[in-house]
Amino acid sequence: MPIIEINNVSKKYNIAHRQRRYLALRDVIASFFQNPFRIFGGEEDFKKGEFWALKDINISINKGEIVGIIGPNGAGKSTLLKILSRITPPTKGEIRIGGKLASLLEVGTGFHPELTGRENVFFSGSILGMKKKEIEEKFDEIVSFAGVEKFIDIPVKRYSSGMSVRLAFSVAAHMDPDILVVDEVLAVGDAEFQKKSLSKMEEVTQQEDRTILFVSHNMESISRLCKRVIVLKEGKIVIDADAHTAIDRYLRSDHRTVGSRNWDNPLTAPGDESVRLLSIGLEGVEGEQKDSFELQDDIIIKVKISVTDETTPLTPFLYLYNESGEVLFSTTDELNRKYLKGEYEKKIVVPKNLLIAGIYRVGFFVWTKTVAKIRHIKEDNLLTFKVYEGPVPSVTPFYTSSYNGIIRPKLAWTTKAIHD
Amino acid sequence: MEIIIKPKKKFSWREIAEIWDYRELLYFFTWRDIKIRYKQTAIGILWALFQPFITMVIFSIFFGNFAKMPSDGIPYPIFVFVGLLLWQFFSASLSGASNSLVGNQGIITKVYFPRLLMPISSTVTQFVDFFIASGMLVILMIYYGYLPNLAGLLILPLLLLITFLISVGGGMILAAINVKYRDVRYALPFFIQTLLFVTPVIYPSSILHKYSWILAANPMTGVIKAARSAILGGSPVNWTLLAISGAVGMAIFMVGIVVFRNTEKYFADIV
């Protein structure tokens, strides 16, 4: 008998809710006066803005399983966790959960800066579903794991951000539920603490009978912790397999990458009267079009722009985002340069041995920086490519690598034997 | 233990029982609110004394002294203070409860617990201020040589319960509306101010003569009148009026729970 059974679960959002933070009563009254009959036909208006974040999800998880959930942004991962955590109800379907479930969707839920460390441990622990007695018993352990013994009775607002995050994580890590639902929270604190929390998670996962659902963009930790991985895409399950197979298939499936874009009609190309983007694309060292690169490959990005205004100084910027949406870096060649009319091709080389295996997104911006910033081109999602390890991905699965971090630069190391 | 997650149906009373399972969290919410209420204020909890006291002084000068407001033969300062005590408990609870969901959206979107805990705990928090301010009433009564009617004091828990029902009930309705329409934040202070004038806080209901029944529809009327009779004596408690207050309070509370539960499912999606 599975401990979690998800049957045909779907979740619908109304886009209107997603776009506007809240309505004002006056808007409703105003729209009533504009069209008083719409109050009766309102249902149809609503349907236009529907968005299915999850569609017919069926998952059955046995006791003791550790399941990773991955997928591109907007695939529905967080929605699934929110439904499992009972924060938001499903629109259709049913879930049966046969045990105590604790969810950890954020580090530091309920932390209040005015309260002391001690008070926050109790409040946050209680919010997360721990009993007062349980918190009392584990209090010393929680505090020493976070390493904040000396500061436990001062307000958290005087903590460094690292300290409060460590304390918050520590509270969460000491919960003792049957089922733990975790959303990408391991990337907190400094490197040392990250390592500590990852091994704490490993310790937690090795306890018998503990069932864990774990959402992350970090293939490294997913492959270290999970035995089974589910890949979501556009609200549906596309892969449900053992971790090895699922991650491999996910990263090698090429329907997600976009290696080049170009705009035939210069009038509709991104940009304005000053400058327009004509094309952008990825190439290998031999000029071949590519959208996946080995760690040891140079990644060449070529951007074509057309300048139509000679008087405006332009600053181009290339942005690289990693899969969590963080800006890995932004780069430019020259600030506020004036270009003669015409087309230009810019070539940017992302050197080999810099990125870590994963999926990356390319953005391109052109602006004029005067007193204010005028944005001519602002495209934060132009290309998607992936970087993998090993000459043949299937022979050497990259995700078993022991590298940590968000980049993996090859640095100059030297070794000198020391003789007395 | 098995949990079944389904699309939210209409309200069921069984879910109210869940509050009991979460009583410890209710305690922690209240405890937190009390802790942070007066943090980083110079005089801290004394605010709970100053607010009703200063208001009482001003009302006594202008309404008692200059306007010669009748007060059923009781010194005007204690007459108005008894009213203010309950009124401030009511108005602070109502506005606290109305903001409880929006003010805790960081928690609501990340963790599950019965959402009803929020308006309830924010109202419970107000009891602290109420009891501190009650100390001031005792001092005032000693000053004016008024002995409390000890038997009458037994009615106080009932009065507090009715006030609690009215403010939590109203707070739940407003909190649910506030999640979707932030207009509540602007309308509420105005609404509370208006209510003050249709509640016999500053004046005795006797000044409306034969129209005083109009005030009976306002549940706070019965509560404040009963409090004055019980604490200050003078006239016997008007049980009919108090029963009306209790019934209206209960009705507001019921409606509040139903409205709250029926809109609860949207909270996390739209706050």
- Which whole number is the average pLDDT over B124-132? 91
Residue A393's pLDDT is what? 43
* Alpha-carbon gap, residue A356 to A377, rounded angstroms: 28
More confident: A196 or A215: A215
Asked if A332 and A277 touch (Cβ cutoff 8 Å), the reply is no
Indicate the pairing of strand A92-97 with strand A342-350: unpaired
- Which whole number is the average pLDDT over B59-71? 88
| Chain B interface mutation, best of A17, A84, A87, A180, highest count of B Cβ atoms under 10 Å | A87
Note whether B7 contacts A93, CB cutoff 8 Å: yes
Q: Which domain holds residue B233?
A: 44-270
Q: Which of A13, A94, A98 sits opposite B6 (nearest CB)?
A: A94
A125, pLDDT greater than 80? yes
A400, pLDDT greater than 50? no
Q: What residue ranges of chain A are covered by domains with CATH 3.40.50.300?
A: 4-251
Q: How many CB atoms lie within 10 A of CB A107?
A: 25
The domain covering A4-251 belongs, at the CATH homologous superfamily level, to: P-loop containing nucleotide triphosphate hydrolases (3.40.50.300)
Find where tokens 């529809």 sit.
Answer: B217
Q: H or E segment at A61?
A: strand A50-61
- Which whole number is the average pLDDT over B17-21? 84
Find where tokens 């907190």 sit.
Answer: A188
Residue B191 lies in a domain: yes
Indicate the pairing of strand A228-233 with strand A236-242: antiparallel
Per-residue pLDDT tens for A161-172?
788 888 988 898
Q: How many residues does chain A have?
A: 420
Residue B137 lies in a domain: yes
In A65-143, at which residue ranges do the beta strands (DSSP E only) sit? 66-70, 92-97, 101-104
B138, pLDDT greater than 80? yes
DSSP string, B204-250: -GGGGGGGTHHHHTSHHHHHHHHHHHHHH-SS---HHHHHHHHHHHH
Note whether A87 contacts B28, CB cutoff 8 Å: no
Asked if A84 and A97 touch (Cβ cutoff 8 Å), the reply is yes
Confidence of residue A17 (pLDDT cuts 50, 70, 90): very low
Q: How much is the mean pLDDT over chain A?
A: 83
Confidence of residue B105 (pLDDT cuts 50, 70, 90): confident
Residue B74 lies in a domain: yes
Residue B35 lies in a domain: no
Residue B102 lies in a domain: yes
Give B65's contacts (C-beta < 8 A, 6+ positions apart): B76
CA–chain centroid gap for B52, Å, is: 14
Residue A97's pLDDT is what? 93
Q: Domain total for chain B? A: 1
Confidence of residue B224 (pLDDT cuts 50, 70, 90): very high
Q: Which of A320-324, B159-163, B165-169 has the lowest mean pLDDT?
A: A320-324
More confident: A228 or A217: A228
- Which whole number is the average pLDDT over B220-231? 89
Q: What residue ranges of chain A are covered by domains with CATH 2.70.50.60?
A: 256-400
- Which residues of B, range 163-192, sit inside 8 Å of A by Cβ? 179-183
Side-chain half-sphere CA neighbours of A183 within 13 A: 20
Note whether B2 contacts A26, CB cutoff 8 Å: no
Note whether A87 contacts B112, CB cutoff 8 Å: yes
Residue A314's pLDDT is what? 93
Phi-psi group of B199: left, alpha or beta (phi > 0 → left; psi -120 to 50 → alpha; rest → beta): beta
High-pLDDT (> 70) share of chain A, %: 84
* Alpha-carbon gap, residue A284 to A387, rounded angstroms: 12
- Which whole number is the average pLDDT over A77-105? 90
Picking from A355, A382, A359, A407, the residue whose alpha carbon sits closest to that of residue A247 is A359
Picking from B93, B87, B95, the residue whose alpha carbon sits closest to that of residue B218 is B87
Q: Which is it for the CA torsion A155, A157, A158, A159, positive or negative?
A: positive
Note whether B268 contacts A87, CB cutoff 8 Å: yes
* Alpha-carbon gap, residue B262 to B259, rounded angstroms: 5
Give A233's contacts (C-beta < 8 A, 6+ positions apart): A71, A72, A75
A33, pLDDT greater than 70? no
A→B contacts (Cβ < 8 Å), by residue, are: 13, 17, 22-26, 28, 82-101, 103, 105-106, 109-110, 112, 114-115, 119, 122-123, 126-129, 131-132
A160, pLDDT greater than 90? no
| B42 and A CB contact within 8 Å | no
Confidence of residue B264 (pLDDT cuts 50, 70, 90): confident
A335, pLDDT greater than 80? yes
A221, pLDDT greater than 80? no
Third-level CATH fold of A256-400? Coagulation Factor XIII; Chain A, domain 1 (2.70.50)
- Which whole number is the average pLDDT over A251-261? 71
Q: How much is the mean pLDDT over chain B?
A: 87
Taking each helix axis from N to C terminus, what angle separates A161-173 and A132-146, rounded to the nearest 10 degrees?
140
- Which whole number is the average pLDDT over A175-199? 74
Residue B163's pLDDT is what? 94
Residue A340's pLDDT is what? 93
Per-residue pLDDT tens for B31-50?
998 888 877 777 878 888 88
Residue B206's pLDDT is what? 79
- Which whole number is the average pLDDT over A206-232? 81
B181: chain A residues, CB-CB within 8 Å: 22-25, 28
**Which of the listed ranges A211-215, A323-327, A339-343, B12-16 does the model predict with the highest average pLDDT?**
A339-343
Per-residue pLDDT tens for A357-382?
888 989 999 999 877 888 899 988 88
Q: What is the ipTM of this complex?
A: 0.85
Query: What 3-state DSSP class applies to A4?
Result: strand
Max alpha carbon distance in chain B (Å)?
Answer: 67
How buried is A235 (Cβ within 10 angstroms: 0-12 exposed, 13-18 middle, 19+ buried)? buried
